[in-house]
Amino acid sequence: MQLCAQALCLEEMLDVPVPAGAIYYGKSGRRMEVSFDDALRTETRKAAGLLHRIIAARKTPPAHYEKKCESCSLLEVCMPRATGTGRSALRYLREIVEISGGDV
């Protein structure tokens, strides 16, 4: 979807059709061709709409850890195990205070 979103931006900016793209995986040296069909374009536009609603709401949704997270380049930034569903900064701080016996 990210690649398709980039293609949609290029189409809008340059007024040219971008029917396909490719994803290159550096570690494995694999290249995967991606066709931007109507279904992918529709899903990408839906995701962009959701992103706009999330930004308008000014609330970051919780991360959800999945097995695929391990191969993501943003794992250390996203930290889905530490910040995922059910986790909060307030709960974390309370746990730290309890562990330290109130000496923070």
Q: What is the extent of the structural domain holding 68?
A: 62-104
| Residues 57 and 74 occupy one common structural domain | no
For 38-51, how does the pLDDT look when each residue is reduced to its tens digit (9 = 90+)?
999 999 999 999 99
Nearest to 62 by CA among 44, 43, 88: 88
Q: 99 and 67 in one domain?
A: yes
pLDDT by residue (tens digit) across 3-28? 999 999 999 999 999 999 999 988 88
Q: Is residue 78 located within the same domain as residue 91? A: yes
Residue 83: closest CA among 67, 98, 58, 65? 65
Residues 49, 74: one domain? no
| Same domain, residue pair 24 and 41 | yes
Kindly state the helix (H) or strand (E) to which residue 15 belongs, with its residue range. Answer: none
Please write the tens of the pLDDT for every residue from 49-97: 999 999 999 987 878 888 998 888 888 888 887 776 666 777 777 877 8
Tell whether 72 and 94 lie within a shared domain: yes
Same domain, 34 and 1: yes
pTM: 0.63
H helical segments located in 1-104: 2-14, 38-57, 75-78, 80-83, 89-100
Our count of domains for the chain comes to: 2
Q: Which pLDDT value is given to residue 24?
A: 93
